[in-house]
C-alpha cells in the first residue's frame, strides 16, 4: 500500500487546500457522489497546476491488459462489489483517477454498507487533492468496520515474497491519518494512527515502519520531540522489510544511522525516488529548523512528474504552508 501507491501499487509515496476545493462535506457526504469527474483525468494541484499522466507508463501494456481482465470479470459478476473495486484499482494504476472515483461512486450507490468501497474512493480522493472528501470516506469506512473481524487486503502488485502485509482496517486508519496530516491536523492524524496500532496488521515490520514514520512526523510537527524519539527505539537496521524500504531508511535517518545525502542523491533523476525519499528528507530538514534546505528539496520534488505519490502531495501541502507564512 504505502510507498507502492503508484504504477500498480509499486510506489509509496501531505495542508492548505486549493482555493477551489469544495467545502468540508456534511456528515453524510461520504454517501453522496462528488461532482462529475473530468473525463480527461486531469488533476489540479494544490497550487492550481494542471497535472496529467505521462504519454506512456512503465508496463503500460500489462496494466491495460489487467484493466481489461478486471472489466471482463465485472461483466461476468455484476453483483460482486469486489469486481467493481478491482476495476477502480486498475484504473488508478493507469493514473485514470477521476474514472476510478466515478466507478467507486457507482459502488457506493449500489453497496452503501461496503467499507472497502469507501476505503478505495478515499484513497483516490487523496490523489486528486480532495482531502475533506477523503477524510469523510475513511471515517465512514471506519464506522462500517467497527466491531467486525478484520480482513487481509490483497495487493495489486504483490511484494517479492507474495505476502500481503496490510488489512482493510489498517489501510482505513492509515489513510485517515494521512488525510488529516495533509490538512495539517496532526493531533487527529495521531489519533488515527493509534487506532491503526490496534489492528492485526500492526505487528509486521513493514507496517511498523510505515506508521512509525508518519507518527514521528506528526509528533515532530506538534513539538512533541521526546515522544517522537521514543518511537525510534524499536527501529533497527535489522528489520524484516519486504516492501517499505523507503520508510525504514527514513527512520534510520531520524535516528542518525543514515544521512540525508545517502537517502537522496543530488544526482538522482528518478522522480519516484525524489518524491518518496525526498519528502522524508525535506520533512527532516523542516522539523529540525533547516527551512531553506527543506524548501529546496520540496521544490525539487515538485519539479518531477511523480505527482500521484504521497510524498509529492505532501510536498505540495508543505510548500503552500511555507509560502503562506512568508
Q: What percent of the chain has pLDDT over 90?
A: 75
Q: What does residue 278 show for φ and ψ, rounded to 5 degrees?
A: -60, -40
- C-alpha cell at position 275: 518524491
CA distances (Å), origin 55, targets 41, 78, 251, 262: 13, 31, 35, 31
C-alpha span between 116 and 81 (Å, rounded) = 9
Tens digit of pLDDT for each residue in 246-287? Answer: 999 999 999 999 999 889 877 777 777 788 899 999 999 999
Angstrom distance (rounded) from CA 99 to CA 102: 5
Place of cell 544511522: 257
Three state DSSP letters for 263-297:
HCCCCCCCHHHHHHHHHHHHHHHHHCCCHHHHHHH
- Average pLDDT of the chain to the nearest whole number: 88
For residue 187, is pLDDT > 80? yes
Q: Which domains does the chain have, with CATH numbers?
A: 6-14+25-325 (1.25.40.10)
More confident residue, 267 or 130: 130
Distances (CA, A) of 75 to 87, 186, 214: 11, 42, 39
The Cα–Cα gap between 46 and 312 comes to 11
Amino acid at each position: 500500500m504505502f510507498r507502492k501507491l503508484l504504477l500498480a501499487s509499486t510506489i509509496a509515496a501531505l495542508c492548505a487546500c486549493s482555493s477551489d476545493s469544495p467545502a468540508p462535506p456534511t456528515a453524510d457526504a461520504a454517501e453522496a457522489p462528488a461532482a462529475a469527474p473530468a473525463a480527461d483525468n486531469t488533476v489540479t494541484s494544490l497550487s492550481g497546476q494542471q497535472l496529467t499522466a505521462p504519454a506512456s507508463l512503465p508496463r503500460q501494456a500489462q496494466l491495460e491488459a489487467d484493466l481489461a481482465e478486471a472489466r471482463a470479470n465485472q461483466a461476468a459478476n455484476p453483483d460482486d462489489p469486489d469486481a467493481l473495486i478491482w476495476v477502480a484499482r486498475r484504473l488508478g494504476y493507469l493514473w485514470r483517477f477521476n474514472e476510478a472515483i466515478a466507478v467507486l461512486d457507482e459502488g457506493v450507490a449500489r453497496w452503501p454498507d461496503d467499507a472497502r468501497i469507501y476505503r478505495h474512493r478515499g484513497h483516490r480522493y487523496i490523489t486528486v487533492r480532495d482531502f475533506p472528501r477523503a477524510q469523510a470516506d475513511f471515517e465512514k469506512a471506519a464506522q462500517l468496520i467497527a466491531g467486525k473481524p478484520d480482513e487481509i487486503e490483497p495487493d495489486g502488485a504483490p511484494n517479492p515474497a507474495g505476502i500481503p502485509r496490510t488489512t482493510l482496517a489498517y489501510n482505513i486508519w492509515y489513510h485517515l491519518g494521512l488525510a488529516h496530516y495533509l490538512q495539517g491536523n496532526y493531533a487527529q492524524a495521531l489519533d488515527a494512527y493509534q487506532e491503526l496500532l490496534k489492528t492485526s496488521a500492526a505487528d509486521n515490520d513493514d507496517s511498523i515502519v510505515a506508521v512509525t514514520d508518519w507518527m514521528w512526523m506528526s509528533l515532530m510537527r506538534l513539538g512533541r520531540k521526546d515522544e517522537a524519539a521514543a518511537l525510534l527505539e524499536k527501529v533497527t537496521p535489522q528489520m524484516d522489510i519486504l516492501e517499505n524500504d523507503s520508510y525504514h531508511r527514513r527512520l534510520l535517518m531520524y535516528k542518525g544511522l543514515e544521512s540525508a545525502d545517502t537517502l537522496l542523491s543530488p544526482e538522482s533523476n528518478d522522480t519516484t525516488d525524489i518524491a518518496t525519499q525526498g519528502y522524508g528528507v525535506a520533512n527532516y530538514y523542516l522539523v529540525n529548523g533547516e527551512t531553506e534546505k527543506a524548501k529546496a528539496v520540496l521544490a525539487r520534488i515538485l519539479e518531477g512528474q511523480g505527482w500521484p505519490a504521497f510524498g509529492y502531495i505532501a510536498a505540495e501541502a508543505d510548500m503552500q504552508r511555507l509560502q503562506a507564512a512568508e
